[in-house]
Amino acid sequence: MGCGKSSVGRRLSELLCCRFIDLDDVVEEVAGRSIPEIFATDGELGFRQRELNVLKDTICDSGRGKDIQLQQISERDAAVLALGGGTVMTPECAELVKENTLCIYLRASIETLVEHLSNELEKRPLFAATDKSLHSRIEELLSQRASTYEKTANIIIDIDGKSIEQICSEIKNRI
């Protein structure tokens, strides 16, 4: 959350001439409600179930099945998919991502995440429901998530101090 997945994903999809899918946007579209509204009415577990269902549909729709090798996917089927920050914390989501995608972890320091998120807290339900400082909450979430991010990712890109263009260039060079 706050590492620039959507911004980098949009630009990367342009550079790779493929479609861009933001999983959070699809969840909101399918639910007919914003993510904060889903969290308020269904809780985090309800949101995660919706997220899993949408991820399954999205991966199946992209033409990527378990038995298809990445190299066999045609350009028309390719897409850049930006996941939510907690998506891969659901084991079934992590498995879907690991087995069916080329997963890139945009790794950021706590300081970078604080800088990116400080003006967006009202849109972030996992920050609204705590009395901890932003720094403390990010530190807590990273301590829970970092090892799963690293296990799920095929490529890790450190983003601190880099522009969207620099990050996209590094990704292109590594894929």
Q: Mean per-residue pLDDT for 15-27?
A: 94
For residue 36, give both structure tokens: 């904060």
2: left (phi over 0), alpha (psi -120 to 50) or beta: left
Q: Does the structure show a pLDDT above 70 at 25? A: yes
Q: Mean per-residue pLDDT for 12-39?
A: 94
Q: How far apart are CA 160 and CA 113, in angstroms?
A: 9
The answer to whether position 155 is within a domain reads: yes
For residue 43, give both structure tokens: 């809780």
Residue ranges making up the domain that contains 102: 5-168
54-106 residue pLDDT tens = 999 998 765 444 333 333 344 456 899 999 989 999 999 999 999 999 999 99
The answer to whether position 175 is within a domain reads: no
For residue 68, give both structure tokens: 């298809």
Number of domains present in the structure of the chain: 1
The answer to whether position 34 is within a domain reads: yes
147 or 76, which is more confident? 147
Spell out the alpha helix ranges (H) of the chain.
5-16, 23-31, 35-61, 91-100, 110-117, 125-128, 134-152, 164-174
Q: How far apart are CA 160 and CA 112, in angstroms?
A: 6
The answer to whether position 156 is within a domain reads: yes
Q: How far apart are CA 92 and CA 83, in angstroms?
A: 14
End-to-end CA distance of the chain: 23
The answer to whether position 138 is within a domain reads: yes
User: Locate tokens 């003006």: which residue?
Assistant: 119
What pLDDT score does 68 carry?
34
The answer to whether position 45 is within a domain reads: yes
What pLDDT score does 67 carry?
37
The answer to whether position 93 is within a domain reads: yes
Q: How far apart are CA 133 and CA 174, in angstroms?
A: 36
Q: Mean per-residue pLDDT for 50-57?
A: 95
Q: How far apart are CA 163 and CA 160, in angstroms?
A: 9
On whether the CB atoms of residues 47 and 39 are closer than 8 A, the answer is yes
What pLDDT score does 1 carry?
77
What pLDDT score does 75 carry?
47
109-143 residue pLDDT tens = 999 988 887 766 566 655 665 556 878 888 988 99
On whether the CB atoms of residues 74 and 124 are closer than 8 A, the answer is no
Backbone φ, ψ for residue 29 (5° rounding): -65, -45
**CATH for 133:** 3.40.50.300
What pLDDT score does 131 carry?
57
The answer to whether position 173 is within a domain reads: no
